[in-house]
Amino acid sequence: MAETARNSSGTTASPSDAGPGGSGIVFDIQRYAVHDGPGIRTTVFLKGCPLDCWWCHNPESQSAQPQIVVMEGRCVRCGECVKVCPQGEAGAAAADRPRCTACGACVAACPAGARRMAGARMTVEEVLAEVLKDRLFYEESGGGATFSGGEPLFQPQFLHGLLQACRSAGLPTAVDTCGFAPWDDLRAVVPLTDLFLYDLKGADEQSHAHHTGVPSGPILDNLRALGAVHDNIWIRIPVLPGINDDDAQVDAMARLAASAGGVRRVNLLPYHKTGVHKFRQLGRAYRLERLAPPSPERMEDVAARFRAFGLRVRVGG
């Protein structure tokens, strides 16, 4: 199993050291979510991910640290951000300034709202208070709380604390994971998780490493291990033309899903470019500019190949 994880800056760090159990870094909380498990849910997005997927639609989730996001279209070039920047290097186009400490001074000073902070430290109690606001909707719809990212297991103690708090409050829980984490961390949250949303990016080792920055082996191993101890797993697969949608990879992923145990359904997610503008706001290049979404016909063909293995399949979230 994987022992360390690599963040988007290319450095390595133990996910188990990502933060104390009582608090962690959260970059978004979305209420009334309907694509992150059954019913109406509140999805809590934890910051930090060991993968660097080329198609990531939440690139601000990859770094474990808070970041300044710059919306250049709103910038009026007033220079207020430069005046208050302790490093003297704030500006409209430098969202990934090497000396930026994400102190937030430029965010507070910007009169046009062209800057925002992605990521803030929250305690377990603060997150739970937000989640509990919609308890009535969970009870009526069969929903609950979903913990996503980034990769929630990049902050394992924090995730464990959040799940335990939800369990104590009687809330259904789901964890959306890429599966690249130490098995001990994943196994620790099994008793506290009602549903696992397990992301598969592909079955070809070379392509997976090239397009995500990590090998697929630990992810596939963890899925098999998880299926042996948990009986409610939904696999989610982004369908990426020319990257993971060839028949050999599709059949390999379907075979794995059918044999892993505990897999209740497969969601096939057609590639989209939602994250393009977010990469630009972070001052990063988007590497799939020319990739077009798969056609509806191709999506149905891929779905049919999964159904041939006896799997319950849905196209979309």
Taking residues 212-222, what's their average pLDDT?
Answer: 97
Ranges 113-127, 176-190, 256-270: which has the least confidence: 113-127
Q: Strand 23-33 vs strand 41-46: parallel, antiparallel, or unpaired?
A: antiparallel
- What structural domains does the chain harbor? 5-64+119-315 (3.20.20.70), 67-118 (3.30.70.20)
pLDDT of residue 281: 85
Look over the chain and give the mean of its residue pLDDT values, rounded to a whole number: 90
Name the residue with tokens 């500019």. Answer: 289
Report the C-alpha gap between 139 and 122 in whole angstroms: 25
Q: Which class for 290: exposed (0-12), middle (13-18), buried (19 or more C-beta within 10 A)? A: exposed
299 — phi, psi (to 5°)? -60, -40
Vertex 316 angle, CA 154 and 202, to 5°: 55
pLDDT higher than threshold 80 for residue 83: yes
Q: What is the pLDDT of residues 130-151, one digit of tens each?
A: 999 999 999 999 999 999 999 9
Taking residues 150-179, what's their average pLDDT?
Answer: 97
Tokens of 218: 């630990």
146 — phi, psi (to 5°)? -120, 135
pLDDT higher than threshold 80 for residue 4: no
Q: What is the pLDDT of residues 228-256, one digit of tens each?
A: 999 999 999 999 999 999 999 999 999 99
The SS3 call for residue 190 is helix
Distances (CA, A) of 112 to 68, 69, 208: 15, 13, 40
pLDDT higher than threshold 70 for residue 20: no
Q: What is the pLDDT of residues 21-34, one digit of tens each?
A: 599 999 999 999 99
Length of the chain: 317
pLDDT of residue 97: 62
**Residue 261 falls in which region: left (phi positive, over 0), alpha (psi -120 to 50) or beta:** left
Q: Which of 10, 50, 26 lies closest to 216 in space, CA to CA?
A: 50
pLDDT category at 13 given cuts 50, 70, 90 is very low
pLDDT of residue 68: 87
Report the C-alpha gap between 188 and 176 in whole angstroms: 15
pLDDT higher than threshold 50 for residue 290: yes
pLDDT category at 5 given cuts 50, 70, 90 is very low
211 — phi, psi (to 5°)? -95, -10
pLDDT higher than threshold 90 for residue 270: yes
Report whether 153 contacts 177 (CB < 8 A). yes
pLDDT category at 10 given cuts 50, 70, 90 is very low
Between these two residues, 106 and 127, which has the higher pLDDT value? 127
Ranges 106-120, 162-176, 199-213, 293-307: which has the least confidence: 106-120
pLDDT higher than threshold 80 for residue 183: yes
